[in-house]
Structure 1
Amino acid sequence: MLYVAFLPIVNQELNAQVRPAHLSYINDLYKQGKVVMAGPFTDKLGGLVIYKADSLEEARKLAEADPVVVEGARTLELREWSPLEFPLS
């Protein structure tokens, strides 16, 4: 299943400090097949990560271990996602 983590920034200064660890963390998860896509919003107020996990609990564990969440630079909203398969009939 796929899970989308919305990560709004709540502390810009702290986020700037923790961002390198965040990028390293999600890059490692990508290499393990646990992150499908990730990136910042163009308004620079946060970003999102799409996780591939066997359960909501696994996805929550991965998302809550992200350094930007652990350090309090960003909040987390995690939702299960069911993308449409195109083309639609």
Structure 2
Amino acid sequence: MKFVALLHIIDAEKNKELRPAHLKYIAELYRQGLVVHAGPFTDGKGGMVVYETKDHAHAQQLAEADPVVAGKARTLELREWNALDLDTL
């Protein structure tokens, strides 16, 4: 199952401080196959992470452990996402 985490910056200074830990965290989850896409929004107001996990509870646990979320630099909105298989359209 895929889950999208929308991460809006609410404290720019904390975000700047926590960003290296955030990137390290996301990279490790990517290596484990738990993150399939991630990146910032072009307006500089936050970013998005796509998790692939067994269920919502696991995705929630991973998203809440992200240093920028745990450190209250960004808000978290987590939603299950049903990605279209564009090859079948």
Range class of TM-score, shorter chain: over 0.9
| 1:9-88 → structure 2 map (5 Å cutoff) | 9-88=9-88
Tell me how far 1:79 sits from its aligned partner.
Answer: 0.2
CA offsets 1:23-68 (integer angstroms, 9 cap, x no match): 0000000000000010000000000000000000000000000000
Gapped regions of structure 2 (runs ≥ 5)? none
Identical counterparts, % of pairs: 55
Tell me how far 1:88 sits from its aligned partner.
Answer: 4.7
| SS of equivalent to 2:86 | coil
Cα distance in 1 between the residues matched to 2:28 and 2:87:
32
* TM-score of the aligned structures, taking structure 2 as reference length: 0.97
Q: Which has the higher helix share?
A: 2
Gapped regions of structure 1 (runs ≥ 5)? none
Runs of 4+ in 1 over 3 A off after TM superposition: none
The count of corresponding residues between Structure 1 and Structure 2 is: 89
* TM-score of the aligned structures, taking structure 1 as reference length: 0.97
